[in-house]
Amino acid sequence: MEAGFDGVEIHAAHGYLLDQFLKDGVNDRANDAYGGSLANRCRLALEVVAAVAGEVGAGRVGVRLSPYTEHMDATDSDPDALGGNMARELGRLGVLYLHAVEPRMVRPYERGETRHSLRPMRDAFGGTFVVAGGYTREDGDRAVAGGYADLVAFGRVFLANPDLPRRFQLGAPLNEYDRKTFYTADPVVGYTDYPFLDDLPK
């Protein structure tokens, strides 16, 4: 907050540390309070959220979860139960929002078919619910209009379109993102070199 930010999003998704504790495919701890049962596997993530909320206020904290994804081999045998439990507990903690990755995004950048839905997580959480994962503007409009989500997050398409809200508003064409520049050390290429609408030839 001292740096001028309005809030904090805790990244508990995509195979990173907190996600590794959450998922039974990688959490093989059997002899302590952070492995084995669903409640134990969720313990660390919830303790982190509670600690951050204690510092800045729960109303300034969001959490990103991806119970259905298999990023970095972080899998779970029952992602519905995992997502539902985390959503309920985060609702009890009173965090500002829950940001969940669509079940169809099982692997990075691959949009597939699935029987799973984020609707039970939304219902269990009871607060502001943000969805992400391969959305177009039209998909996002339908998700919000149909009550599936309150907000839709855009990542790759926003990176390639620094004026994305304006493009959506105008129905303007979008820049294509260049995947091979996503994880490079260059501070410009693939990050700040995508053109704004006003920079494009008329």
Provide the CATH number for the domain around residue 14: 3.20.20.70
Residue 148 designated active-site: no
Is 125 inside any structural domain? yes
Is 45 inside any structural domain? yes
Evaluate if residue 112 carries a pLDDT over 80: no
Is 198 inside any structural domain? no
Is 165 inside any structural domain? no
Is 19 inside any structural domain? yes
**Residue written as token pair 């004026």:** 163
Is 87 inside any structural domain? yes
The parent domain of residue 81 ranges over: 8-153
Q: Which of 16, 34, 148, 177 is catalytic?
A: 16
Evaluate if residue 110 carries a pLDDT over 90: no
Per-chain mean pLDDT for the chain: 94
End-to-end CA distance of the chain: 42
Is residue 114 very low, low, confident or very high in pLDDT (cuts 50, 70, 90)? confident
Q: Which helix (H) or strand (E) holds 52?
A: helix 38-56
Is 77 inside any structural domain? yes
**40-60 pLDDT, tens digit each:** 999 999 999 999 999 999 999
Is 21 inside any structural domain? yes
**62-80 pLDDT, tens digit each:** 999 999 999 899 999 999 9
User: Which residues lie closer than 8 Å to 195 by C-beta, 6 or more apart?
Assistant: 175
Q: How many domains does the chain have?
A: 1
